[in-house]
Amino acid sequence: MILPGRQLRVSVVDDEVLIASSFAMVLCTLGFDASFFTEPLQAIQAARYYAPDLLISEVSMRVLSGIELALKVQRQCPNCKVLLLSGQPDITDLLTTSRANGHTFEVLPKPIHPTALLREIRATFGLARLREFGVLQPESKVSARTSQGLMDFVGNPVVEAKRHQDSLLRPSVAREKSA
């Protein structure tokens, strides 16, 4: 049961650290108590001690799929709601199996704009309920700078490649300066 006056707890799980941390940062800015994980098993462990009200997870991950993660978290936290994200078009087999077992989950396409994610969260909990918990309402609260930064992380392979290239160059620059 969620008590009025406490922030909604959100666990964000994606094996891409930039995506997971960016979504958590935006959600914290909007008034959520958001944590991020890059390993599904870490999210399951954390849920034992800090039950999330909402799980936002990538569907396609190495150790556990987002669907398997959602089922495990919901076993521990039956009131936890789930939003799944996927940039992969080939998840129909996972969803079909899930539905055959009586589980239906909302799957949102990646990349997703922060305001669209907020709309989905609001729809999941209901607008009035989010106001009750002090979550900021207007999408305008997500600044253009924050939104563009998140879109760069989530939806721009050129930016991602540049970041990767920069991270590979940084150690050599540090070694050159120390020599």
Domains of the chain are 9-178 (3.40.50.2300)
Strand partners, 82: 55
Nearest CA among 164, 44, 70, 56 for reference residue 110 = 56
86-134 residue pLDDT tens: 877 655 555 555 555 555 677 788 888 888 998 899 888 876 556 566 6
Backbone torsions φ then ψ of 58, nearest 5 degrees: -65, 145
Q: Is the pTM of this model over 0.75?
A: no
What pLDDT score was predicted for residue 95?
52
pLDDT of residue 170: 45
- What is the Cα–Cα distance from 38 to 25, expressed in whole angstroms? 14
Distance CA 16, CA 59 (A): 12
The count of C-alpha atoms lying within 13 angstroms of the C-alpha of 75, restricted to the half-sphere facing its C-beta, is 7
Q: For 26-48, what is each residue's pLDDT tens digit?
A: 999 988 999 999 999 999 999 99
DSSP 141: G
